[in-house]
Amino acid sequence: MHDQASALRDLASRENTQKSKMRVIAVTSGKGGVGKTSFTVNLALALAEYGQRVVILDGDLGLANVDIAFGLSARYTIEHLLSGEKTIEEILLIGHRGIGIIPGGSGVQKLADLERDKLRNVIANLGRLEKMTDLLIIDTGAGLGHIVINFLQAADDVILVTTPEPTALTDAYGLLKSLRVEAGDVPIHLVVNKVRSEADALATYKRLETAVQKFLDGSLNYLGYVYDDSFVGRSVMQQDPLGISYPDSAAYKCIQWIAGKVAGIYVHPPRQAGGVRGFLSKLLRSF
């Protein structure tokens, strides 16, 4: 993989491109069932309301379902892009508010096995995303799998979704511990999902932040919270995102608030974005 990463950097350096404004956010969780994908989909919709152009890469190998959340069905995935059968435009699905969706599935893992000629094709295709979007959001799998960790350390920023449940907090801390070792310089932003009150959310954040400061010598950025809302479950069953089916729901109002903070982060980014080439370079180097 060292040769592949070197090849990628060589190819990227030969192209005279302007510095891209596109940034890569990885949304993750320590365990399944905390509402990560629903949050990702609705965050994208809320960001679109702020004028952001957003593409979601479905990076969950075991349960790729971003397209289903939009009520769509993927005919092609990133695997067809990696094989050279299809272009990025041919596999890209378009959801509500112009949100782009790159169906991932098992094809994501094959990024680690690309030959040089196919790597050049992938760079050219994904490079075109920088003209289509401002933010690439990766919906990672849950847990500590090596593909998940690789995505997180390659991203510009990480949003960690958890809930107040003790098991969710334990798993979130485990993920943070791994990230501290593997990707210590990646900014991590916490969202507490399925809360009954703001006080519950703040207490959850403080418990996790205290542990991170004491044992990991690090810190977390508190990004916000999302209310436990029955409309979320209804929207999932209807295969229509919360922001479309129940835009006035309490949960979506929270996500709109969080999206405003995220949009602000990227108006004045905390560090320079690497764009598609920077993301791929770090991702391939990590395999």
Residues annotated in a binding site for ATP: 31-38
Torsion of CA 5, 156, 56, 134, to 10 degrees: -110
Binding-site annotation, residues: 31-38
- 188's CB contacts (< 8 A; 6+ apart) are 157, 158, 159, 160, 176, 179, 220, 221
Q: Beta partners for 56?
A: 101, 137
End-to-end CA distance of the chain, in Å?
A: 6
Q: Beta partners for 190?
A: 160, 222
Q: Is 11 helix (H, G, I), strand (E, B) or coil?
A: helix
Q: Is 153 helix (H, G, I), strand (E, B) or coil?
A: helix
- 69's CB contacts (< 8 A; 6+ apart) are 37, 38, 41, 236, 239, 241
